[in-house]
Amino acid sequence: MAATTVTPAVPRPAAAGPAGADSVAVPLALPLPVLHSTVLGWYEANARDLPWRTPEATPWAVMVSEFMLQQTPVKRVLPAWAAWLERWPTPADLAAEAPGEAVRMWGRLGYPRRALRLHAAAVAITEEHGGGVPDDHATLLSLPGVGEYTAAAVASFAFRQRHVVLDTNVRRVFARAVTGVEYPAQATTAAERRTATALLPADAETAATWAVAVMELGALVCTARGPECGDCPLFTACVWQRAGCPPYEGPARRGQSYEGTDRQVRGKLLAVLRAEHGTVEQARLDAVWPDPVQRARALDGLVADGLVEPVEQGVYRLPQ
DNA sequence: CAAGCGTGGTC
DNA sequence: TGACCAAGCTT
């Protein structure tokens, strides 16, 4: 079958060259409609049964899931998400509480600044947007803790709109299937965005399902390590596969050291504060880490971030 | 824009 | 076992 050339949905300015000169050649050996039906069919048969994907899931429930899923695996999010929504079924419910309660409820999901930002987003929704999660991308993007990905995800998944949803899974699927490399670059490029735009179904409802379907393919089959190419619906079309699965070439991908870092100390300090419902004396915090310099730096950082509130000299608590 | 930000699991 | 990974955001 001949390779299909896909023209971007949003053409570049004419000044960039003759018409079509800047079109994105997508050497996927599949016509676009076949690509769509292949991935959508795979999704229908293989999608996980996740609670935030059910018709009963409110936009707020979808938004909470997106915050929690930022860098945290689905398995750990599932129970936390259910407990969160049980306690705070609407943005107003969360906004009515102290930010420290959000931090406490966040538990051990990691990156607790997300809890603070989710609380701040709930306050903004309640005070500035009539209590309902905004349905347009730009307004979503203006909320604390909502970046390009999360705004597109909420608009797409909760409101069934047509958006390019580029997360780490989608980027990896396109890197392999379309570009023919094992891993995408560290930062999202304009070329990636053009490719994703070119492949997005025209119909909004279809595009919304397409977005979650490609993500799911990346999460379940086209994984970072040990992809199950034998189970992949794009096996025969995949450019990386056709090239013989060449290994990643490029700069070493950044590792996340943790042992001995300020992050580890912050985690230990905050764990003490989370477990204590009142105030905490300095001595209890001093017990979590031997180095007083690093300990002080970590605590200062938590205070600067608003995750910890100094009450008086040597006494701290979660923010009220 | 590269670096910083938690926590747990995997190979 | 240490490096890498997990639906990113902010500065």
A111 touches strand B (CB under 7 A): yes
Q: In this predicted structure, what is the pLDDT of residue A28?
A: 82
- Reduce the DSSP state of residue A166 to 3 states and report it: coil
A111 touches strand C (CB under 7 A): yes
Give the model confidence (pLDDT) of A91-105 as tens digits: 999 999 999 999 999
Give the model confidence (pLDDT) of A261-271 as tens digits: 999 999 999 99
Enumerate residues 6+ apart whose C-beta is below 8 A from A304.
none
Q: In this predicted structure, what is the pLDDT of residue A204?
A: 98
Which residues 153-172 on A are within 7 A of strand C at the CB atom? 153, 167-169, 172
> Architecture of domain A24-45+163-242 in CATH?
Orthogonal Bundle (1.10)
> Architecture of domain A262-317 in CATH?
Orthogonal Bundle (1.10)
Break chain A into its structural domains and give their ranges.
24-45+163-242, 58-157, 262-317
Which nucleotides of strand B come closer than 7 angstroms to any CB of the protein? 1-8, 11
Mean pLDDT of chain A: 91
Which nucleotides of strand C come closer than 7 angstroms to any CB of the protein? 3-10
Q: How many CB atoms lie within 10 A of CB A111?
A: 15
Two tokens, residue A78: 């599932």
Q: Is residue A313's pLDDT more than 80? A: yes
Instruction: Choose the catalytic residue: A44, A56, A66, A281.
Output: A66
Give the model confidence (pLDDT) of A180-213 as tens digits: 999 999 999 999 999 999 999 999 999 999 999 9
Q: How many CB atoms lie within 10 A of CB A29?
A: 17
DSSP-H helix ranges across chain A = 32-46, 59-68, 74-87, 91-95, 99-106, 113-128, 137-141, 148-157, 168-174, 190-199, 204-220, 239-242, 262-275, 282-286, 292-305
A70 touches strand C (CB under 7 A): yes
Q: Do domains A58-157 and A262-317 have the same CATH topology?
A: no
Q: Is residue A24's pLDDT more than 70? A: no
Two tokens, residue A299: 């605590």
A53 touches strand C (CB under 7 A): yes
**Shortest CA–C1' contact from A48: which nucleotide?**
C7
Query: Does A127 qualify as catalytic in the annotation?
Result: no
Q: CATH assignment of A58-157?
A: 1.10.340.30
A53 touches strand B (CB under 7 A): no
A73 touches strand B (CB under 7 A): yes
The Å distance, CA of A256 to C1' of C2, is: 11
The Å distance, CA of A269 to C1' of B5, is: 14
**Shortest CA–C1' contact from A266: which nucleotide?**
B6
Pairwise pLDDT comparison (A1 vs A35), residue with the higher score = A35
A309 touches strand C (CB under 7 A): no
Lowest-pLDDT range of A15-19, A25-29, A258-262: A15-19
Q: In this predicted structure, what is the pLDDT of residue A260?
A: 87
Nearest to A64 by CA among A147, A160, A149, A133: A133
A81 touches strand C (CB under 7 A): no
Q: In this predicted structure, what is the pLDDT of residue A75?
A: 97
Give the model confidence (pLDDT) of A209-265 as tens digits: 999 999 999 999 999 999 999 999 999 999 999 999 999 987 777 777 788 899 999
